Amino acid sequence: MQNYRLTVQYDGTDFAGFQLQPNQPTIQGELERVLAVLAKAPIRIIGAGRTDSGVHAEGQVVSFKTDCLTVPIGRIPAAMNSLLPDTIRVLTAEYAPSDFHARYSALRKTYRYQVYHGPTADVFLRRFALWEQEPFNWAVVEQAASLLVGRHDFAGFASTGSSVRTTTRTMYRVEVDTSQRLKLLRFTADGFLYNMVRSIVGTLLEIGRGSREPESIVEILATCDRSAAGPTAPAVGLVLESVDYA
Amino acid sequence: MQNYRLTVQYDGTDFAGFQLQPNQPTIQGELERVLAVLAKAPIRIIGAGRTDSGVHAEGQVVSFKTDCLTVPIGRIPAAMNSLLPDTIRVLTAEYAPSDFHARYSALRKTYRYQVYHGPTADVFLRRFALWEQEPFNWAVVEQAASLLVGRHDFAGFASTGSSVRTTTRTMYRVEVDTSQRLKLLRFTADGFLYNMVRSIVGTLLEIGRGSREPESIVEILATCDRSAAGPTAPAVGLVLESVDYA
């Protein structure tokens, strides 16, 4: 069967996450519904990252196999977008080698967490950024964030409940971009544990507010103690920015 | 009575405009409802610009007079915001001289029109920008826009139906900012006629798409013929950015 690869953008606010769930609006559910209309056959898709309820994507990657799609490859985005809600857009569609798997072939993913720091919430950013009101020290957040780079056991930043073989991941890059009105925390790793970015951000936010020392990052990585980390930051600010393949 | 001045931000997507209308959600209606709760008395407000249905504001200015408000001035934004929908935020509140009138005291207003130019609509900008898909020449738009600067009779860019003494306005500044992914058309004038910005933008968009000559701006200004101008651009991209007072 022909293998396909899509790049997908979505505003996750009104969805119960990427993954298919009965009787709830999901990204996978919407994409599969629309593909079934176009292919006149059921199609099962694979997403690179199974983003949670309320989490957004700028460059989610999806793969699926079918021989039933007769729409020319260049017209797939427009054909799907005409049937999708305006909160989901297919940006690109291309043929993929038969061994391409959106999830297992991924080498690196980049997640971005968006924070709006100001005295009053911003109406234009309310669906896409966490509003942070407290006095906040971005320099100390940048310093603490740099401690995450490298190969570490990130168990202390993972919610339990997921079954993974190992909790060791390599964080290639952490960037704290405070140059714009919307502050960005960007994480690139070879993989992320369940709730890992949100646990890291929850901890970094406490550091920025001054209620936690930057060095506690080192301690959480060393002890793997989830209870030592900060709370899971809200989904609203999280965006799956891009996925890298070979 | 004490005169007050507020700065207000809103996402106009779900409102029938600023101005009070029976049985429809309006910005004025929401603000007056909340002020009545806090003052325990009805309060009538005045807005600097009566933005239309779907039009947004980053710096709308509102004034009102009352002696019934006991909330300390510094706490008015937070008190109002706790009762307002999250699509409206009061940014600042201050005491104003008794002769201050949000509308009549305004010297200049700045409106911004936001355009997202790309092959596929952007889900994060869908509520706040017009999606422009066609091949587009921003340089020629900038050239045409500069022809609007100065004191002109803008009748050719006004929808009929409003009763104004004169259709002559002074356009102080027109800026075409294409440095970011979101393209901005910014207009500063001593006043705007009904639908003036949207008529100008509709005309400039035709120029950018190549279906109209830049010089037609001069002709529309000279002839005051509305039928010579382009269509009214959609409300989605329009933002009342700021209002200047003496």
Q: What ipTM, to 2 d.p.?
A: 0.87
pLDDT in tens, chain A (246 residues): 999 999 999 999 999 999 999 999 999 999 999 999 999 999 999 999 999 999 999 999 999 999 999 999 999 999 999 999 999 999 999 999 999 999 999 999 999 999 999 999 999 999 999 999 988 999 999 999 999 999 999 999 998 766 778 999 999 999 999 999 899 999 999 999 999 999 999 999 999 999 999 999 999 999 998 899 999 999 999 999 999 999
Task: Give tens-digit pLDDT for B124-158.
Answer: 999 999 999 988 999 999 999 999 999 999 999 99
Query: Angle B196-209/B138-146 helices, nearest 10 degrees?
Result: 140
Contact A121 B89 (CB under 8 A): yes
CB A74 within 8 A of CB A91: no
Q: Which of B82, B124, B179, B181 to mutate to test the interface with A (most CBs of A within 10 A)?
A: B124
> Measured between beta carbons, which residues in chain B are less than 8 angstroms from residue A91?
119-120
Contact B11 A81 (CB under 8 A): no
Which residue is closest to B13 within chain A, CA to CA?
A124
Contact B120 A89 (CB under 8 A): yes
Query: Angle B196-209/B216-223 helices, nearest 10 degrees?
Result: 150
What SS3 state is found at A125? coil
> For tokens 């600067």, what's the residue?
B149
Band (B160; pLDDT cuts 50, 70, 90): confident
Domains of chain B: 2-96 (3.30.70.580), 108-244 (3.30.70.660)
| pLDDT score for A134 | 83
- Which residue in B11, B14, B52, B67 is the catalytic one? B52
- Which residue in A11, A14, A52, A67 is the catalytic one? A52
Pairwise CA distance, residues B152 & B187, whole Å: 14
CB A38 within 8 A of CB A69: yes
Strands B56-66 and B2-10: antiparallel
Q: How distant is the Cα of A208 from the closest Cα of chain B, in angstroms?
A: 23
Pairwise CA distance, residues B28 & B44, whole Å: 9
CA distances to A71, A125, B100 from A194, rounded to whole Å, are 36, 25, 55
| pLDDT score for B161 | 65
Tell me, yes or no, if A11 is annotated catalytic.
no
Contact B121 A89 (CB under 8 A): yes
Q: How does the average pLDDT of chain B come out, rounded?
A: 96
| Pick from A89, A91, A123: CB nearest B11 | A123
> Measured between beta carbons, which residues in chain A are less than 8 angstroms from residue B89?
120-123
Which residue is closest to B86 within chain A, CA to CA?
A123
Contact B10 A123 (CB under 8 A): yes
Pairwise CA distance, residues A175 & A145, whole Å: 8
Q: How distant is the Cα of A241 from the closest Cα of chain B, in angstroms?
A: 13
| pLDDT score for B134 | 83
Q: Which residues pair with B168 in a beta bridge?
A: B153
3-state secondary structure chain B: CEEEEEEEEECHHHCCCCCCCCCCCCHHHHHHHHHHHHHCCCCCCEECCCCCCCCEEEEEEEEEEECCCCCCHHHHHHHHHCCCCCCEEEEEEEEECCCCCCCCCCCEEEEEEEEEECCCCCCCCCCCCEEECCCCCHHHHHHHHHCCCEEEECHHHCCCCCCCCCCEEEEEEEEEECCCCEEEEEEEECCCCCCHHHHHHHHHHHHHHCCCCCCHHHHHHHHCCHHHCCCCCCHHHEEEEEEECC
Pairwise CA distance, residues A231 & A201, whole Å: 9
Q: Is B157 left (phi over 0), alpha (psi -120 to 50) or beta?
A: alpha
CB B57 within 8 A of CB B12: yes
What residues contact A157, with CB distance under 8 A and at least 6 apart? A193, A195, A196, A199, A200, A203, A220, A226, A229
| pLDDT score for A162 | 64
Pairwise CA distance, residues A186 & A198, whole Å: 12
Task: Give tens-digit pLDDT for B28-42.
Answer: 999 999 999 999 999
Contact B120 A11 (CB under 8 A): no
Query: Angle A196-209/A216-223 helices, nearest 10 degrees?
Result: 150
Token pair listed for A221: 């990585």
Contact A120 B81 (CB under 8 A): yes
What residues contact B20, with CB distance under 8 A and at least 6 apart? B26, B28, B29, B32
* Percent of chain B at pLDDT exceeding 70: 99
| Overall residue count recorded for chain A in this entry | 246
What residues contact A99, with CB distance under 8 A and at least 6 apart? A105
Residue B165 has pLDDT above 90, yes or no: no
Contact A120 B56 (CB under 8 A): no
Q: Which of A80, A92, A124, A131 to mutate to test the interface with B (most CBs of B within 10 A)?
A: A124
Which residue is closest to B124 within chain A, CA to CA?
A11
| pLDDT score for A52 | 96
- Residue B51: name the closest of B42, B61, B43 by CA: B61
> Measured between beta carbons, which residues in chain B are less than 8 angstroms from residue A88?
123
| pLDDT score for A83 | 98
CA distances to A57, A129, A166, A203 from A236, rounded to whole Å, are 11, 6, 28, 16
| Pick from A120, A123, A128: CB nearest B87 | A123
